[in-house]
Amino acid sequence: MSVVTAGGSRGETAGGEAGTVTAEFAVGLPAVVATVLLVLGVLLAGTTYIECQEAARAGAREAMLHASTEEARQAAQAVAGEGAAVSVSIDGRWAAVRVEKSILVSGFPIRVSAQMRAPLEDASTRGNRLEGAG
C-alpha cells in the first residue's frame, strides 16, 4: 500500500501499523468513560453531602429554638428531601441532628451523612437576647 506524505511524495506503510489507532481507541475509551463516571460520582456525593449538612443545620436550629425533636425532624426532612433518614436527639442542654442519605455512584451504594449540634435556648436566654436588641 502506498501513502502520500506531507511533501507530496509516495511512501510505503509498515505492515504492522494498520489498525493500531482503532485498537488504542478501543483500549482507551473504557478508561475515559470510567474516569468521567468517577468524577460525576464524586460531584454527586459532594452535593448530597451539602444537602445533608444544610438539613442537619436546619434541624439543629429548630431544636435549638423550640426544644422539640418533632419540629427539628420535620425541618430537617423538608430540607433533605425524600430518601433521607433523620434522627434527632436532645441530651441535656444540647440537640444533635443527624441526616443520612444513600446514593448510587457507578453501581456502588454510598451512604452520605452529616451531623450538627446546637445548644438549647431557654426562656431566660431568649428574653435577655430580646431585651438587649432594643
Domain positions in the chain: 20-126
CATH of segment(s) 20-126? 3.30.1300
Buried b (16+ CB within 10 A) or exposed e, 95-115: bbbbbbbebebeeeeeebbbe
Q: How confident is the model at residue 133 (pLDDT cuts 50, 70, 90)?
A: very low
Evaluate if residue 2 carries a pLDDT over 90.
no
> Which pLDDT tens digit goes with each residue over 25-37?
888 899 999 899 8
* Whole-number pLDDT of residue 39: 92
Q: pTM value?
A: 0.69
53-86 pLDDT, tens per residue?
A: 999 999 999 999 988 899 999 999 999 988 899 9
